[in-house]
């Protein structure tokens, strides 16, 4: 009887996990953010990607690295500003940055 209860509990937990993954754990990404990540992937440069969307700052995080595989892991909205937490690979390391947007322009990039 214990084995049957364990088996049924395991199936229930797996079903809930699969439904959670399939039904809403993804992050909605704006077309501008998609373009920003595509530019990083194609140029391997955060400076080039940021400049394309109107952001220039001497202190852009990770600007000295060749970057690859940007991936949005979270987003938040405060008023007119939408921010994305992004995981980016550089060599064997992963770093996270926050990219904030307003009216199609990047307003801030910070390292998390």
List, for residues 16-35, the tens digit of each pLDDT value: 333 333 334 478 999 999 99
Is the domain covering 2-111 a CATH 3.30.460 domain?
no
Residues 76, 82, 95, 67: is their CA dihedral positive or negative?
positive
* Residue that is written with structure tokens 């940007």 in the block: 70
Confidence grade of residue 1 (pLDDT, cut at 50, 70, 90): low
Q: pTM of the full predicted structure?
A: 0.74
Domain ranges of the chain: 2-111
In whole angstroms, what is the distance from residue 99 CA to residue 2 CA? 50
Query: 33 and 70 in contact (C-beta within 8 Å)?
Result: no
Q: What are phi and psi of 101, to 5 degrees?
A: -125, 150
More confident residue, 63 or 6: 63
pLDDT score recorded for residue 27: 84
Average confidence (pLDDT) over 55-68: 88
Residue percentage of the chain with pLDDT more than 70:
78
């Amino acid at each position: 009887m214990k084995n049957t209860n364990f088996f049924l509990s395991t199936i229930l937990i797996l079903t809930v996990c699969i439904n959670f993954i399939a039904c809403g754990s993804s992050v909605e990404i704006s077309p501008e953010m998609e373009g920003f990540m595509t530019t990083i992937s194609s140029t391997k440069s955060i400076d080039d990607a940021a400049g394309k969307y109107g952001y220039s700052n001497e202190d852009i995080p990770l600007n000295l690295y060749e970057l690859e595989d940007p991936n949005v892991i979270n987003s938040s909205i405060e008023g007119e500003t939408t921010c994305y937490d992004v995981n980016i690979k550089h060599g064997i390391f992963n770093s996270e940055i926050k990219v904030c947007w307003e009216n199609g322009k990047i307003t801030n990039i910070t390292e998390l």
